[in-house]
Homo-oligomer: A and B are copies of this chain.
């Protein structure tokens, strides 16, 4: 994963104030919750830079998660505000990859990436419609990856 943040690409940011129920007995947010925070950010990203995920669902299409990677840099605690920034890394015929950076006012919390395949409710892989794919590609970072 590339730790730097995107310079010239469409990003979305969600702010999340840590609820007590996401902390664990180490006194910090349990690491599994960050995987959920990524979902908050990519739903927002679709709202802002593509089209609402609920439209895909209404068409019986789901972006099934096929890979998750998270590198944890710093713990967070109850009541801290985390920003989760999301951007698109690539899009292919039936799949795409999103990247994420999580921060608090104290510094970087984590970097992450997720990959997704478009499937129908029977789990069959389906091509991303050409118009959607073109629109998505226009949001991919332009730095030569």
Q: Taking beta carbons and an 8 Å cutoff, which residues of A are in contact with B? A: 19-21, 23-28, 30-33, 35-36, 39-40, 43, 52-54, 57, 62, 64-72, 75, 77-79, 121, 123
Contact = CB atoms under 8 A, between A and B. Distances in A.
Contacts of A72: 64-68
Nearest to A123: B75
Contact of A79 (B35, B52, B64, B77): B52
Given A24-B24, A79-B53, A40 B64 contact: no
**Copies of the chain in the assembly:** 4
For the complex of A and B, list the 5 residue pairs with the smallest distance between their C-beta atoms, beginning with the closest: A23-B25, A31-B65, A32-B35, A25-B27, A68-B70
B68 A35 contact: yes
Contacts of A79: 43, 52-54
7 contacts: A20-B24, A20-B53, A23-B24, A25-B25, A35-B35, A53-B79, A67-B71
A39 B18 CA distance: 11
A54 B21 CA distance: 14
B64 A36 contact: no
A27 B78 CA distance: 13
B71 A26 contact: no
